[in-house]
Amino acid sequence: MLKIKTKCFDIEQIADSGQCFRLVKSTANSWQLIAFSKVLNIYAREDNTYDFDCSQDDFNHVWSNYFDLNIDYESIIKSIPGDDEYLCQCSRVGNGIRILKQDPWEALISFIISQRKSIPAIRGCIEKLSAKCGEPLGSDINGNPLFAFPTAQAIASLSMEELNACGLGYRTKYIKRTASEVYNDDKLLTNMFNLNNEELSKALCEFYGVGTKVANCVMLFAYHRLDAFPVDVWIKRILDTHYNGVFPYIGKIKNVGVLQQYMFYEAQINKKN
DNA sequence: AGGCAGGTTCTTA
DNA sequence: TAAGAACCTGCC
């Protein structure tokens, strides 16, 4: 177990922020994450401390990076204009959120699946897909088998019928074609790290089934473009309510993608209550 | 029961 | 920066 204590890091907030779909609460104070073909169990302890059930090596090379622990989120929060009471409130409520650095392939497929689906439905699809053709990763504490997110080759090899059995609906054809393209050019997604934001957005939108919103999610949650600003129905509602339809800080202050997460999370919390 | 869900594509004007 | 319909399926 590795003891982790960091400012601006709250695993429950991250799990509820909707940016990833395979970080789930397993008990009252523990979470299970599957990413990069690894299973990580995280335990919340007293005093904002977490125990990561992993080696020091995995922490240094995988999870520290995944959870973006090397960026100073306090300074991002401080950059919020003080007279914007609503946004300051959101940043207080969600100050433990980090923008994850997810695998671009997994994020691309996950957010194609996400269109017009509720979060539980998205999770269900991804779990079915992983169980169907992902690499086995042992089992959880209840004996349920766990699977890595499938490779592009694995998904590209599935028939339309097999894909459809995962509840993908009309997205099946999007997934099929995108998986084939990524499988046929195994450096495609990696090379896209070299593109600037505009080029990256354009390149992502060329995938079948990827539009502006999905592209922005992949940019923010996998390519770590903190200025990407995904606008979904929730954010649109928020912008209409608080900002007359347009987020006024785009192009004005940095890291608007982080602010987007604070606003989205705050809305999720209000929904629960 | 039936609308709606973290959109995108396709058609039509 | 053109609107509007169609789209699969499961959740609420």
The nt closest to A117 (CA vs C1′) is B5
Find the Å distance, CA of residue A6 to C1' of nucleotide C8. Answer: 43
Nucleotide nearest the Cα atom of A124 (by C1'): C10
Distance CA A230, CA A249 (A): 14
Q: Which nucleotide is nearest to A112 (CA to C1')?
A: B7
The closest nt to A115, taking CA to C1', is B7
Positions of chain B reached by protein Cβ under 7 A: 5-9
**How far is A4 from A2, CA to CA, in rounded Å?**
6
Strand partners, A25: A31
| Closest amino acid to nucleotide B6 (CA–C1') | A232
Report which of A10, A114, A253, A247 is spatially closest to residue A263, judged by C-alpha positions: A247
pLDDT at A178 (0 to 100): 98
- Asked if strand C contacts A248 at the CB level, meaning under 7 A, the answer is no
Question: Among A91, A141, A83, A110, which Cα is nearest to A21's?
Answer: A110
Q: Is the CB of A18 under 7 A from strand B?
A: yes
Nearest to A88 by CA among A99, A75, A78: A78
Phi, psi of A26 (to 5 degrees): -105, -35
Q: For chain A, what is the total number of helices (H) and then of strands (E)?
A: 15, 7
Q: A256: which residues sit within 8 A by CB, 6+ positions away? A: A226, A227, A229, A247, A249, A250
**What pLDDT, on the 0 to 100 scale, is given for residue A272?**
61
Residue A85 to residue A63: CA distance in whole angstroms? 33
Q: What is the pLDDT along chain A (273 residues), one digit of tens a residue?
A: 999 999 999 999 999 999 999 999 999 999 999 999 999 999 999 988 999 999 999 999 999 999 999 999 999 999 999 999 999 999 999 999 999 999 999 999 999 999 999 999 999 999 999 999 999 999 998 899 999 999 999 999 999 999 999 999 999 999 999 999 999 999 999 999 999 999 999 999 999 999 999 999 999 999 999 999 999 999 999 999 999 999 999 999 999 999 999 999 999 888 765
CA to C1' distance (Å), from A112 to C6: 18
For chain A residues 103-162, those near strand C by a CB cutoff of 7 A are 116-118, 120-121, 124
Do residues A202 and A88 touch, judged by C-beta distance below 8 A? Answer: no
Judge contact between A150 and A37, C-beta under 8 A.
no
Q: What is the pLDDT of residue A23?
A: 97
Distance A126 CA to C2 C1' (A): 35
Which of A246, A231, A238 minimizes the C-alpha distance to A268? A238
Spacing of A165 CA from C6 C1' in Å: 22
CB A98 within 8 A of CB A77: no
The pLDDT assigned to A31 comes to 97
What's the pLDDT at A174?
A: 98
